[in-house]
Amino acid sequence: MDQALIRERELFKKRALAQPTVEKRKPKSSEQERPAKKPKPAPRPREANSGASFDYKTAHSSSQYKFGILAKVVNFMKARHLREDGYPLSLDEILDETNQTDVGNKNKHWLMTEALPNNQKLTQVDEDGEKKYKYNPKLIIKDRRALLNLLKQHDLHGEGGLLLDDVEESLPNSAKAIQKLGDSVLTIARPNDKKKILFYNDKYCQFKVDEEFIKLWRGVSVDGQDEQKIEEYLEKQGITSMQDVGLKKVLPSQKRKKGGNRRFKKHNDHLAGVLKDYGEFKASKGDK
């Protein structure tokens, strides 16, 4: 090897060792000392049909909103009927009249397919291929004469009276009509719920009852008594009670044929002269 190159190499080493070197250290950051946080798992998407995804609060509020729309529609149609506006209206016309034009398509579909057709107070009518609705009153009465005739029919067939609430929902100006009928109609409050019921006042059935009988009737208490005990009590008091005596059905007896001259058909008439009776001969032989 060349000696000059060896000397240069040695000089280079000496110069390199003679030069001081400073090592730069990286500052420790606080973020590196802390352990890295684990990433949070992404939330699972809620299933549409799962029970956990059902929100009762929103469902309750939405159902209240829907039935609130339906209640406004029914009350509006009832008010129109009592104003004697009987022509039918479409759903858009009803929503426009009730200031509910902001109803969404979902609620409109529910009204047209479920709520309005299944409501007993509304009747669906088809006009020119369009579905329209009108109010369906519980009683078909147009004036006070129709009301009086209906009360008479109920009284005649023993069907009782008519509920005043049903009359007020069906007959326009019902209070005025009842007032004009006067004493032809009786108004009685039902004891259990205090609702008023209208009855026909049949004046031909009115009769006076002696005050003594009224006192006796009101003075007798029959609570918790059956028919047998009431009958025994009446017998002790010397009162003959009415017995449940029914007409006995007499079965039609078979007519007996009267015994009389019975005619028997004779056979072998062609041997009348040949046959002989040996009864007398046997009797005489036995005597011997």
Quick one: average pLDDT of 207-236?
81
CA dist 50 and 46 (Å) reads: 8
Q: Nearest-5° angle of CA 82, CA 83, CA 88? A: 90
Q: Nearest-5° angle of CA 117, CA 118, CA 121? A: 90
Q: For the segment 196-215, what is each residue's pLDDT rounded down to a tens digit?
A: 999 998 877 777 888 888 88
Q: Which residues contact 235 (CB under 8 A, 6 or more apart)?
A: 241
What's the pLDDT score for residue 247? Answer: 44
Scanning the structure block, which residue is given the tokens 């000496």? 14
Q: Is the pTM of this model over 0.75?
A: no
Helix-helix angle 144-156:174-181, to 10 degrees: 60
User: Which of helix, strand or coil describes residue 187?
Assistant: strand
Q: For the segment 32-67, what is each residue's pLDDT rounded down to a tens digit?
A: 555 556 666 666 655 444 444 545 455 556 788 888
What's the pLDDT score for residue 245? Answer: 44
